Structure 1
Amino acid sequence: MPRLTSSLPRIRFFFLFYFYIPCLVFLCSLSHVAESQIQDQELQVLLQLRQSWQDPSSLTHWVPSNSSSHCTWPEIICQDGSITELNLANLNINYSIPPFICDLKNLTKLDVFNNNIPGEFPTVLYDCSKLVYLDLSQNYFQGPIPSDIDRMADLQVLILSATSFSFDIPASIARLQRLRILHLNQSEYNGTYPEEIFGLSNLEELSLAYNDKFVPSQLPRNFTALKKLRFFSMPQTNLFGGIPETVSDMEALEYLNLGANPLTGKIPGSIFALRNLSQLYVYKTNVSGSIPQAVRATKLSGIHLSYNKLTGNIPVDFGKLENLSCLNLEGNQLSGGIPERIGHLPSLSDVRLSNNNLSGTIPPDFGKFSPLRRFEVAFNNLTGALPEQLCHGSMLFGLAVMYNNLSGELPESLGNCNTLSLTMLNNNRFTGNVPAGLWMSQNLTALYLSVNELSGELPEELSPDLTRIKMSNNKFSGKIPTTVSSWRNLVVFDASNNLLSGTVPTELTELPYLTTLLLSQNELSGILPIDIVSWKSLTTLNLSHNKISGPIPSKIGFLPVLTRLDLSDNQLSGLIPPEIGQLNLNRLNLSSNRLSGPIPAKLENGAYDDSFLNNSGLCASNSFVRLNVCNSQSHRSSKTDRTLIVILTIAAAMVIVLLVLLMIRASRKNRDWYDSTPKLTSFQRLNFTESNILSGLKELNVIGSGGSGKVYRIDVNPSGDVVAVKRISNNRKLDEKLEKQFVAEVEILGNIKHLHIIKLLCCISCENSKLLVYEFMENSSLDHWLHKKKRLSPISGVANNMILEWPKRLQIAIGAAKGLCYMHNDCSPPIIHRDVKSSNILLDSEFNAKIADFGLARMLAKPGEAVSMTSVVGSFGYLAPEYARTTRVNEKIDVYSFGVVLLELTTGKEANDGDEDMCLADWAWRHMQDGKPISDALDEEVKDESNVDEISNVFKLGIFCTATLPCTRPTMKEVLQVLLKCSDSLYNVEKKCRHKFDVVPLLENSKYEEMPHSDFHVLECNTY
């Protein structure tokens, strides 16, 4: 026995070495081989996927590589060497999901959020047996959600938001018992939702938001049975009735949004018993009554009750909510004072109490005990001083207290608040100096001080990011410092109605981005700077009611986008420079000066009838202007008469000689067309020759003119076919600018063909002239129809009193959007028009819109890539703000311009309509910012009860297209989809303008919280 025992270790070693270890190695090798085979198979599936999606540029890195596995690709997540997740969001996929995607046997998550995938619900995914997470949102799926969707029994997350799914939501969804997250918001459901959904006991998030085609209903009785529900969102879903007291049974609830519904009754006090609730939205409902005092939720961290009809006082018990970080009660009818205890809350960072009837003083401890980031109490009746320690936590970036009766000096601590981005203190009764440090606050972008009693002098330096200073109607004094040239990024400077003295310094003219300069009603003197050519972006210049003397600088006439000029009530003398007649001015006022001599001929029209009054030395040749007629002396000596006769005789002889010379030159010019052998390049099949075109170039056929030449309407054959011919010509050889415009138009229009882009038939080239021959558009351009003063027939010149009704306007918007969408998305490389405006949208006999005038268009190297231009071109009122500042262009500058066109279509106003520094886009935003009804902004000629909602939605879409930040604007593809949804309602009055880019969801769900033109939009899209 001892001998056997001693040999056991040897036996074990023998077994391990000769049997177990080899078996283990063999099994491992088999496992490695199997894993390698799986990876190879999955790689082939991925490559096949890319191919089936036509090799989108976003997946160019999906290529086989020996250096790394496909598991390292950013869209792929693997476990144990096998793919478990495909994260394919935002990849511009335009094709359907193929069935072989389920050959990825271990796939548990598929996310295709925000692509362009078409078709019906992809039932091919039923074969993905392990799928637990599916996100199909922000795509173009349509049709019903299949009634057998419960075959995907393991789903825990189902997100189908912002699609075009329609009909009823099937009850079978309620059989997906493992669901934790269900989002079905913002689609085209035109029926209802199954109440059985509220029996999904594992649900943690449920969103049915922004489905305004739901059949009106009350909140289901059983909705409070969802004990695990943390997130519940049903705004704009046609809910009516009251909010039940049993809402407090949802003990896990953290977020509740029932806004934009016709709910009635009081807000139940039981809501405040939800101990985990952090966000509560019941805005824009018909909930009325006061805020309940029974606030017991000590863990409540956010209260959002904005834009209701709440009345009464702000409950003192809010001061007991130790975890409260956000208090939003703006846009109600609250009265009384702000409870002092609210200022003691330690977590409070966001206070929004604007647009109420609050009175009394602001509690002095605001900011002292909490890190305030945003403090808004504007449009109330508050009095007293601003709290001294608002920026105590060094986090305050938004301060809005305008339109109150606040008084006293500004807190010195504001001068040490480097986080401030926007400061709006206007329309109060503040006194004393502005804290020195406030001017230099390093993040400050806008400072509004107007309509107070502030004093002191302008600073030598400003914050480098400051773009807007509004300080009118105060008591600021002293000179404008010569260091003003360092205020490089200033866009708006309004210091009117102050006590400023000295001259207008030359350094002020060196600000390249300045669009608005208002210095009226001061004590400025001296002569104006002569060299002002750096004001390339200036649209408004008002220096009226000062003591400025000397001549008007002629270079004012070379400011490319100046539309408002007011130099009245000064001591200016000399002639009016004829160059000013070259400006396209909407407002001109040179009255009450010492000007003399004749008024430039181009200014002699009724638009400027009151622009030259109280200048005794001025005269005009046209009695239409209320001035003396030039050379009107009635008594001359006989000697003068004889001299005049001689002069007139000589002049007549010279005119005759000149006419003969002109006739000879015209004859030679016509021969030159043939002598220089004009070259015709066709882009379509033609039924005319160049001689048909050349013979029609007569003044009788001119129907328009522009910066590059005249446009002719020419009958080209006996059949009655008509074409439009743009003649780009010059007395000398074509200058470089015109040549570039000609080349750009030919290069682009000669290679693209689209139903909603003007058709270029051919071009004819000669040494001194270029002809572009287009299809003729019978109804001229959109601006002829929208703006009454331009409503002349392009053929007869007779006034056109027809009204462009709303259905046709929407049809035109859709057509133009299709043309731009094609240019941005379907052309390679993409094409940026750069001059989208109503006069460049032409209309055929059926009012189909076509984009025209591509002389300024540019091609991008890659989609979405910005290209720098050497100069800014385009039309005032349509120019995107970032283009004017950076000269960099991408698709979003066309989106901005098209947004202005949408505002023109809905309001009937022109693009440059507005007050002082506001164009139409700014005016429209301000209209909404002031809380005015959108219907008041709409064109009275076309709105009625049946279409006001639809027009309002297009108006709001125009506002989003003209957002200040390019990244917050939609793409033209998204704009088109919204307009197409709107067009559905032309045939079904029950339908609303709804889409994944509709307005209410944008305000609520986007990365920013304010309107797109909001002054709080200062740095990034996700400022908050």
Structure 2
Amino acid sequence: MSKPTAAFFKIHFNAVFLVFLLSHASSQFHGAQEQAILVKLKQYWQNPSSISHWILSSNSTDHCSWPEVTCLNNSVTELNLPNKSISGTIPSLICELQNLTSIDLNYNNIMGEFPKTLYNCSKLENLDLSQNYYIGTIPDDIDKLGRLRYLNLMVNNFSGEVPAAIGSLQDLSTLLLVKNQFNGSLPHEIGNLSKLEILGLAYNSELKQSKFPSSFKNLTKLKTLWMSGTNLIGEIPDFIADMTALEQLDLSCNRLTGEIPNALFLLKNLKGIHLFDNKLFGEIPQVIRASNLTAIDLSQNHLTGRIPSDVGKLEKLSSLVLFYNKLSGEIPESIGQISTLEDVRLFGNRLSGTLPQDFGRYSKLEIFEVCSNRLTGTLPTHLCDRGKLLGVVACDNNLKGELPRSLGNCNSLLRVDVSRNGLTGSIPSGLWTSLNLSMLMISDNMFTGELPRKVSDNLSRLEISNNRFSGEIPIEVKLWRNLDVFYASNNFFNGTIPRELTALPSLSTLLLDQNQLHGSLPSDIISWKSLRTLNLSKNQLSGQIPEAIGFLPNLNQLDLSGNQFSGQIPSQLGLLWCTDFNLSSNRLTGNIPKEFENGAYSNSFLNNPGLCASTAKVKLHICGSQRNSNLSYPRDLIWISSIAVFVLCLLVSFFVTKFCWKRNHVLDSRWELVAFQMVNFTTKDILLGLKDEKNKIGAGGSGEVYRVDISGHGDFIAVKRIRNKKRPERELEEFQAEVMTLSGIKHSNIVKLMCCMSSEDSKLLVYEYMENGSLYLWLNKHRTSSIILDWPKRFGIAVGAAQGLCYMHHDCSPPIIHRDMKSSNILLDSKFNAKIADFGLAKMLIKQGKPATISTVAGSFGYIAPEYAHTRTIDEKIDVYSFGVILLELTTGRKPNRGDEHRSLAEWAQHYYEEGHSILDALDGDVKEACHLNQMCNAFKLGLYCTRALPSLRPSMRTVLKILLQNCHPPDYRCKNTENEYHDLDHLPQKLTCAISV
């Protein structure tokens, strides 16, 4: 065989070089082609600024350096585009990137149905479309994406059935369908996914009721199973032990019953059990063999019996959470000896006996909460030995002895609550000044000692009432700059109230009642701008009541009773809007301010012999009614003559009035005016305004509304006249409800009641005038003409109304239920700020969270919550329902009683959404602009959330307001969930994406 010649090598080299050149040219062509595809993608998505750097380049590989693009051998394999403000849909050209294996479009504004265009991405393995606005069903042929390993569709609006075809994606290791709108059954075919390691189906509460799927026992590689809120019923099956790889199991917020099976504790790899908020009954099993178990959470069930002693054998346990059950017996001593234990929450049970003294000795304990049990003995002495303790909550027990001295050297502490025990001794000096301490609550014990000169700079809440503290309030109190709440009732404090106490800018509540304080009140009391509650009763305070109290802008509870205050009550106190007001048992003299001359304050001035009033509604003698028995005859005669003249004048006035005003029935009897704030008009000013029918601006079932110019120069007020003729009992009830409600509350989003007037035939309510009328009028104008209330104004109105309702439900004591929330009862001032009006049906709850029952249903059709109509039971959730209807009105432009020809707006919207229709098509086309679509969609979905049929599924108004303010902010704002956590809207909505899933 001859050797290759030089010519042969030359020919071979040239051939190889030619192949190389051709390959290089092909690679360059392919790179340029992919770069062009990416630029077309950007243009299709309307050039979002987040990928503005996607620009064609002469270098065919430049796109591989773009941060959103991953290449392998200069070919695109991954697109990572989370939170890039991409809107629209996914075009088919994306699959022209022939080597694409991964697409991440999480947290964008992509709409429409599941993109079947991705079926052409033949190599696709990872797909993340979570936190977008997808609707409709997951297609039945999704198994065409046969190479998928990772599929994340959570936090969208997919509905219908979870398709059985998902069970054919045999390579799938992660499947996340959390928080959608599925309303079918869980497919048993999921059990065919033999490689599945993570399965998330949580927060799909509309799924059909089902037992734990038996096919899931085949998921032998599954490590995480997240099925909270999936409408599971029945018992937890024993075959769960066949899922041998399980590490995290969450079946919370379902309707599971029965006992916790021993099989749970046979899972060797299990690191966490979460079964809270179910209806599990029975005892915690003694057999606990899960040696790797790191967390136990069985809270909020109906578990009985003892805490198993075998829990102490779990050498890796870091968290023991058993709160809100019916557990009894002692806490096993061995639990305190677990070296990994960090979190102990056992509150709200029936546990008894002494606390294990080893808590904190061997582990870095962070959370220790054993409140509301029947525990005795002392607190463990080693709680903060490792310096990691964040909180000690042991209130409502029968604990004795002193606080552990170690707490005085525990700078990690944030909160200490040992209220309502029998603890004694002094507070460890270091505890007062603990660096991070923000709440110290030790009321209702027998602690002694004096207040310290210095406290933690972070201390915001100090509760020491009902103890045996003594001494003076130190002048160094001015250094407690962050103090918000100070409860110090029923102790032995003496001396004066130092002027330095007024230097606390954040102070909202100050209780110093039932002490031995004396002297006058500080002159700088006006500094308490944040103060809402001031109770100084049952001391020995004296001098005059400072006028400055009347100028405290937020004060709504004032109690100065049981002291030695003297002199007249400052007229400035009439400026206050107090729900609780008590000046009883002092030495006050003179007339009480006219603002307090109504039945709401009938007991506010008792045991002040020198006080008088001009009305019998207050339990004081009438001013001028006490006659001196030594008056001379001439003076008696003058007095009698004066009375006679007065009576004659009344008679003349009566006949003149009857003759001149008979037609209008305005001055048909004597009028009584009760003012709730300083007013600059008289009864005559109002009555003259009612004479002119041109001033009438509205009428309803109980009377008319007038606009009255009290100065002649455009200084308007609104007057509602309630007749006493048709239904006197109901009119009187509504009048009293309006007065009782509005006279006691003060909020920028609630209409201001200035005064009320009453006569034999009529009653008048006088309000601030709202220049832009009601929301109903504007929406009605919009429906019948070209006058448009744009979306930014509508959104601002929704926020304002929510703020008013939130105040009524959560900040008033007792809470106030409006009962007739509707667009006509939302009034708008000159700047379109919303104020809630018409409290004629309002009801105050005796106790927050406790429903009340009424004899008749009242309200407006279309706004009435179903449970109110059927059971006559009312609580805050009926207002939430009505507010939800208002949101649907604002977003759709439809009338509340006319979603279509057969259903109310709320019923129509729920069905419309459940049937998978596009929200965009439901929005009011006259105000629908691209820059507002995200906000309008979310407001629509929030309206759906508020109008759920079951009251328990509706949010509180506090939650509604948080969602509006934090999750539905102006157009380009997105509150990204950086922690990658997703919560039900009933819990922590501030961490939820704007893509609200109802």
TM-score (norm 2): 0.71
Q: 1:209 to 1:17 in 2, by over 3 A?
A: closer
Distance 1:383 1:552 in 2: 46
- Note the residue ranges of structure 1 that are not aligned, 5 or more in a row: 652-694, 704-710, 717-721, 732-767, 801-810, 859-873, 876-897, 915-922, 928-933, 961-969, 1018-1024
**Structure 2 counterparts to residues 620-635 of structure 1, below 5 A:** 620-634=613-627, 635=629
- Displacement of 1:257 in angstroms is 1.9
CA deviation digits over 1:693-715, x for unaligned, max 9?
xx999621799xxxxxxx96437
- Give the letter aligned to residue 690 of structure 2: L
**Structure 2 counterparts to residues 69-84 of structure 1, below 5 A:** 77=70, 83-84=76-77
Distance 1:784 1:70 in 2: 72
Among 436, 444, 457, which residue is 1:443 paired with? Answer: 436
Q: 1:419 to 1:275 in 2, by over 3 A?
A: same
**Structure 2 counterparts to residues 131-146 of structure 1, below 5 A:** 131-146=124-139
Among 327, 343, 354, which residue is 1:350 paired with? Answer: 343
- Note the residue ranges of structure 2 that are not aligned, 5 or more in a row: 647-684, 722-730, 744-752, 765-774, 784-788, 809-816, 858-864, 885-933, 963-976, 992-998
- Give the letter aligned to residue 853 of structure 1: L
**Structure 2 counterparts to residues 23-102 of structure 1, below 5 A:** 27-28=23-24, 31-32=27-28, 34-51=30-47, 55=48, 59=50, 64=55, 77=70, 83-90=76-83, 95-102=88-95
Distance 2:213 2:312 in 1: 34
- Give the letter aligned to residue 979 of structure 1: G
- Displacement of 1:271 in angstroms is 1.1
Q: 1:141 to 1:394 in 2, by over 3 A?
A: same
Task: Give the equivalent residue in structure 2 for 1:303.
Answer: 296
Distance 1:855 1:216 in 2: 51
Among 270, 281, 286, which residue is 1:293 paired with? Answer: 286
Among 776, 798, 804, which residue is 1:837 paired with? Answer: 804
CA deviation digits over 1:855-894, x for unaligned, max 9?
6779xxxxxxxxxxxxxxx99xxxxxxxxxxxxxxxxxxx
Distance 1:114 1:26 in 2: 42
3-state SS in 2 of match to 1:358: strand
Whether the 8 Å CA contact 1:306–1:328 is kept in 2: the answer is yes
Q: 1:355 to 1:829 in 2, by over 3 A?
A: closer
Q: 1:646 to 1:33 in 2, by over 3 A?
A: farther
Task: Give the equivalent residue in structure 2 for 1:232.
Answer: 225
- Give the letter aligned to residue 943 of structure 2: L
Distance 2:223 2:145 in 1: 24
- Displacement of 1:339 in angstroms is 0.8
Whether the 8 Å CA contact 1:47–1:63 is kept in 2: the answer is no
Whether the 8 Å CA contact 1:784–1:839 is kept in 2: the answer is no
Distance 1:562 1:831 in 2: 27
Q: 1:294 to 1:486 in 2, by over 3 A?
A: same
Q: 1:487 to 1:98 in 2, by over 3 A?
A: farther
Task: Give the equivalent residue in structure 1 for 2:378.
Answer: 385
Task: Give the equivalent residue in structure 1 for 2:905.
Answer: none
- Displacement of 1:908 in angstroms is 6.4
- Displacement of 1:104 in angstroms is 4.6
Task: Give the equivalent residue in structure 1 for 2:597.
Answer: 604
- Displacement of 1:489 in angstroms is 1.8
- Give the letter aligned to residue 241 of structure 1: G
Task: Give the equivalent residue in structure 2 for 1:977.
Answer: 941
Task: Give the equivalent residue in structure 2 for 1:341.
Answer: 334
**Identity level (%):** 40
Distance 1:577 1:481 in 2: 29
Whether the 8 Å CA contact 1:39–1:81 is kept in 2: the answer is no
Aligned: 1:453 with 2:446: yes
- Give the letter aligned to residue 480 of structure 1: I
Aligned: 1:197 with 2:172: no
Distance 1:194 1:334 in 2: 37
Whether the 8 Å CA contact 2:217–2:243 is kept in 1: the answer is yes
- Displacement of 1:590 in angstroms is 0.2
Q: How many residues align?
A: 821
Q: 1:329 to 1:1006 in 2, by over 3 A?
A: same
CA deviation digits over 1:220-244, x for unaligned, max 9?
3231111110111223333333222
Task: Give the equivalent residue in structure 2 for 1:700.
Answer: 690
- Displacement of 1:971 in angstroms is 8.7
CA deviation digits over 1:568-593, x for unaligned, max 9?
00010110000101111111100000
Q: 1:90 to 1:729 in 2, by over 3 A?
A: farther
- Displacement of 1:102 in angstroms is 3.9
CA deviation digits over 1:924-960, x for unaligned, max 9?
5xx5xxxxxx768999977469789998878999999
CA deviation digits over 1:15-35, x for unaligned, max 9?
999886797577546634642
Task: Give the equivalent residue in structure 2 for 1:128.
Answer: 121
Distance 1:948 1:212 in 2: 27
- Give the letter aligned to residue 977 of structure 1: K
- Displacement of 1:517 in angstroms is 0.9
Among 632, 635, 643, which residue is 1:637 paired with? Answer: 632
Distance 1:945 1:454 in 2: 53
Among 121, 138, 151, which residue is 1:158 paired with? Answer: 151
- Give the letter aligned to residue 837 of structure 1: G
Task: Give the equivalent residue in structure 2 for 1:168.
Answer: 161
Q: 1:427 to 1:976 in 2, by over 3 A?
A: farther
Distance 1:92 1:525 in 2: 64
Distance 2:497 2:150 in 1: 65
Aligned: 1:181 with 2:145: no
- Give the letter aligned to residue 31 of structure 1: S
Among 244, 247, 265, which residue is 2:240 paired with? Answer: 247
Distance 1:453 1:629 in 2: 47
Task: Give the equivalent residue in structure 2 for 1:738.
Answer: none
TM-score (norm 1): 0.69
- Give the letter aligned to residue 511 of structure 2: L
CA deviation digits over 1:474-516, x for unaligned, max 9?
1111111212222222211111111111111112112222211
- Give the letter aligned to residue 358 of structure 2: D
Distance 1:839 1:361 in 2: 42
- Displacement of 1:72 in angstroms is 6.5
3-state SS in 2 of match to 1:342: helix
Distance 1:631 1:406 in 2: 59
Distance 1:523 1:208 in 2: 61
Q: 1:416 to 1:728 in 2, by over 3 A?
A: farther
Task: Give the equivalent residue in structure 1 for 2:828.
Answer: 853
Whether the 8 Å CA contact 1:554–1:577 is kept in 2: the answer is yes
- Give the letter aligned to residue 495 of structure 2: G
Distance 1:830 1:630 in 2: 46
- Displacement of 1:404 in angstroms is 0.7
Q: 1:143 to 1:201 in 2, by over 3 A?
A: same
Q: Identify which range, 223-232 or 111-120, moves more after superposition.
A: 111-120
CA deviation digits over 1:712-768, x for unaligned, max 9?
64379xxxxx9988789989xxxxxxxxxxxxxxxxxxxxxxxxxxxxxxxxxxxx6
Task: Give the equivalent residue in structure 1 for 2:921.
Answer: none
Distance 2:871 2:24 in 1: 72
- Give the letter aligned to residue 44 of structure 2: Q
Distance 1:728 1:180 in 2: 73
Distance 1:699 1:585 in 2: 30
Task: Give the equivalent residue in structure 1 for 2:554.
Answer: 561
Distance 2:585 2:118 in 1: 78
Distance 1:520 1:957 in 2: 41
Task: Give the equivalent residue in structure 2 for 1:570.
Answer: 563
Distance 1:489 1:729 in 2: 45
- Give the letter aligned to residue 387 of structure 1: P
- Give the letter aligned to residue 374 of structure 1: I
Whether the 8 Å CA contact 1:322–1:345 is kept in 2: the answer is yes
Among 277, 293, 318, which residue is 2:270 paired with? Answer: 277
Whether the 8 Å CA contact 1:908–1:938 is kept in 2: the answer is no
3-state SS in 2 of match to 1:154: coil
Task: Give the equivalent residue in structure 2 for 1:883.
Answer: none
**Structure 2 counterparts to residues 599-678 of structure 1, below 5 A:** 599-634=592-627, 635=629, 636-637=631-632
- Displacement of 1:563 in angstroms is 0.9
